[in-house]
Each structure stands twice: as C-alpha cells, then as structure tokens.
Amino acid sequence: MKTNFKISTLIGFLGVCFLMSCSAAPADQDEEYTDLSEDELHDVARKMAHEFIMVDGHVDLPYRMKVGGFTLQREMLDVSERTDGGNFDYPRAKEGGLDAPFMSIYIPASYQENGGAKVFADSLIKMTERIAVTWPDKFAMAYSPADIKRNFEKGLISLPMGMENGAPLEDNISNVKYFYDQGIRYITLTHGKDNLIGDSSYDDAATHGGLSEYGEEVVREMNRVGIMVDISHVSDNTFYDVMDITSVPVIASHSSARKFTPGFERNMDDEMIRRLAKNNGVIMINFGGSFIDGDYQEKTNEVREHIVNWLAEKNLSRNDPEAQAYITAYSAKHNPFPDVKKVADHIDHVVAIAGIDYVGLGSDYDGVGDSLPTGLKDVSMYPNLIAELLKRGYKKADIEKLCSGNIFRVWKAVEDFAAQEG
C-alpha cells in the first residue's frame, strides 16, 4: 500500500507540474527589458522586428513612383535596390524587419473634382502589381493575413493595398466590389476634401454633416464584400456616423493622438480612440512631424525663416559651401524634428486609455516628406521604436500585437463577416 501511495502521489505531482507548464506563458513573453543597456535593448529589438510579422498601415510608394515619372511604359524605380531619396526600398525594409507595408493607392482630391479618379487608381494598382512581377524573389502581392504569413515564411515582402480616398468609387456602388476584385483591402473614405461619401477632416465645408446617404451605403457594402473601412482623414462627424453603421471593426490606417496636437482634427481625440476600441478596431500611429508634435510646424517655420534671412544678409545662395555649412550647423543646433520618443508617447497614450489591443503602426512613409522624426527616417528604423517601447516596460507579446497581431485581428473579423454575408 505504501508503495502504491508513493507512486500515485508521484504521478499526481508530475501531472500538476505538467498542467502548470502547459498553462504558463513562455518565459520570454514576460521578460523585463527595462534594465538592459542601450546596445542590449537594440539587439533585442532587432531580433523582435525580424521574428514577428511587421505590418505598416500606410506607405505611399506607388504615388512616389508615379510623380517621379515612372509609368507602366517607362523604366520603373528599382526599389529592389537601395534608392536615393524616399523612405522605402527592399534593402531598408529588410533591415528594419518590415514584412507587409500597405501600398497606398492615393487619389488626390483634384481627381474627384476634375474626373479620372477610377482610372488613376487603376494605374497605381497596376504599378504596385508590377513591382511584384518584376522582382518575384523579393516582393509578392497579398490579399489576406494568410497571404502575408505565407509570404513571410518564404522571406518575401508582401504588398497589400489600401485605397486612400474613396473618390474612385465615383457614384457607383458596384465599384466597391470592383476594387475588392482589384485587390484593395481598405478604403480611406475621404482625403483632403469632402467627397460623395462624406466629410473630410481637412475641409471645413461640412458638405454632408458626416457621411452622406451614399456614404452609408458604401460602408455597408464594404462590410459586405470584405474591405476594411479606414477612418483616417474623415471629419469627427463622419467618424461617428461610421461607428453607428459598421457591422465590423474599422481602422485608422495612419492617424495619431490629438492629445499631442490640439485642434488638429486629422488626429483622433480620446473619445474617438475609446469608441474605436469599443468597436474592436485599431489606430495605426502616423510618424509625420505634424501628427506627433503640435509644435513641429512652428519650430520648422522659425528655422526656415532664420535661414532665409541669414542668406539674404550674407548675399549667399543655399548652394554656396559657406551657406551649406551654416545651414547644417544651425539646423542641428535648432533641430525642429521630434524624435522616436514622440511616436512612443502616442502609443503609450492609446494603451493608457484603450489598451494594447487597439494600436498599430501606420508610418505614412513616402507621404510626409522630410518631417519624419529623428530615429525613424525610413523603413530600416522600426527597431529604434521597438527598443524605446521595451525601455518603457512593454513585453514581447505587446510588441507582436503592435507589429501585426492587432491589424490581423481586425482584418480577419472583416473577412469572416464578408464570408457569412456572401
């Protein structure tokens, strides 16, 4: 009997240990990084950037290529190699751990006023597809989280597409399904001006007072076919109308927190962020200087004005060696650019008021010019942001959610709803 008791006790003890080991989180998920040195932090951050799938909600490469004079008939900008200028190319993306930049199919407001929005959108979609066709060993199109995961396993950079400005839908609701079939997986409802869908944050005309009746139909149809609704660029009234109508979570593909930029309606205020979280959506933080620092524009203007006046006093042009030396020194001393900490502040704020499950990355690379913060000047630098967050106490699981977990959750919910509706 004693032998049996000892054996049964041992078996019971081993069973408890097994259950505890199964239920416990992996050790490194709860590891603290706050006591690491700067070098150690950046080493860990680089490893995480390459371990996790990293999605960026908004990269303006297609429009950068278009305005650079690259067309389907002419030689295309070789983004398979390191490029002069711009923020995105394959080598830098690989360095930074970027796996799935949403290619912005950006439609300037002039096309909704003068016509041709749908044709222009089609041209940018074809240009994006040509990237994948031209360099199939480096890039691949992606139309779902599953596609991105498969491409990641192959070492390929995925090119999902989002359309910035719903103007190409024109006044034909069937164009929602048309653009889904063309590969568009989110639509930013408006851009710089009010359109047929709704009111823009940059336009004070308040044409519809929010969504138009057609815009309500567009949101429902986007839900039905499986296109994510993007509320970046819309007015506050339009945002709340979307929240009342949508049957699925929505995204802000490249917006930041208005707390740090008072009066800048393009960003989201605290109430909107909480409502987005209640909807189970995600705000993807924009890196642009004007989006993350309310004083950026004023500081930039002061530096620019001083340099212009100094050049006039010295009777020099910007190309003169003396002028270039002075501009470099003065700009460094009076640096108007925010740094990576500012982007981390926005992430902190969203987490504080809504939680880690509702924030992601939406840099606006190739779309915000030279206003990008120090430490995040191009797609090679995401590890700098990860290091800053680790320093602030973020865990490995938090970083994975920020990189792709949260946007994948939203995207999958939209896919699932469309499958049920279909």
**One-letter identity of residue 136:** P
Q: What stretches of 233-381 show up as alpha helix (H) in DSSP?
A: 236-245, 270-278, 289-292, 296-314, 321-333, 340-353
Neighbours of 216 (CB within 10 A): 18
Give me the pLDDT at residue 363, please: 98
Percent residues over pLDDT 70 in the chain: 89
Q: What is the pLDDT of residues 145-174, one digit of tens each?
A: 999 999 999 999 999 999 999 999 999 999
Rounded Cα–Cα distance for residues 395 and 283 (Å): 19
Which H or E element spans position 131? helix 117-134
Residue 228 has pLDDT above 50, yes or no: yes
Q: What stretches of 58-172 show up as alpha helix (H) in DSSP?
A: 61-67, 90-96, 110-114, 117-134, 145-153
Between vectors from CA 148 to CA 401 and to CA 98, what angle results, nearest 5°?
65
Options 3.40.50.2300, 3.20.20.140, 1.10.443.10, 3.30.9.10; CATH for 37-293+339-421 is 3.20.20.140
Domain boundaries along the sequence of the chain: 37-293+339-421, 294-337
For the CA atoms of 188, 192, 195, 200, what is the dihedral angle to 10 degrees? 80
Q: What is the pLDDT of residues 43-61, one digit of tens each?
A: 999 999 999 999 999 999 9
* Dihedral angle sign, alpha carbons of residues 141, 144, 149, 150: negative
Q: What's the average model confidence in pLDDT over 204-216?
A: 98
